[in-house]
Amino acid sequence: MHKILVALTLLLVPVSTGAYAQQQQQQRSGTPEEQAACSRDVSRHCRALMDQGDLAILACLKENRPKISRACNQVLLNHGQ
């Protein structure tokens, strides 16, 4: 019985961890509409950081706030940035 519980635990950990990571990634990346609002600004002002993750891109957008579109700025404001 103990071996079965250990085996089930080991099988479920990667599944739950993967689901959690995917959920976190979706939350950070925003909705498709939010991504569309900022994609041009990211390409224009933050291209060099695109492989460094969402937090680096967010910092870049905030640094370039005077240059970004109104729509992207509104996305940042909606998320308390």
Rounded to whole angstroms, the Cα distance separating 39 from 43 reads 6
- Residue-wise pLDDT tens digits, 28-79: 578 999 999 999 999 999 999 999 999 999 999 999 999 999 999 999 999 9
Show Cβ contacts of residue 37 under 8 Å, excluding neighbours closer than 6 positions. 69, 71, 72, 74, 75
Contact (CB, 8 A) for 48 and 64: no
Domain assignments of the chain as residue spans, ordered by start: 1-30, 31-81
Stated pTM of the model: 0.64
DSSP conformation class of 79: T
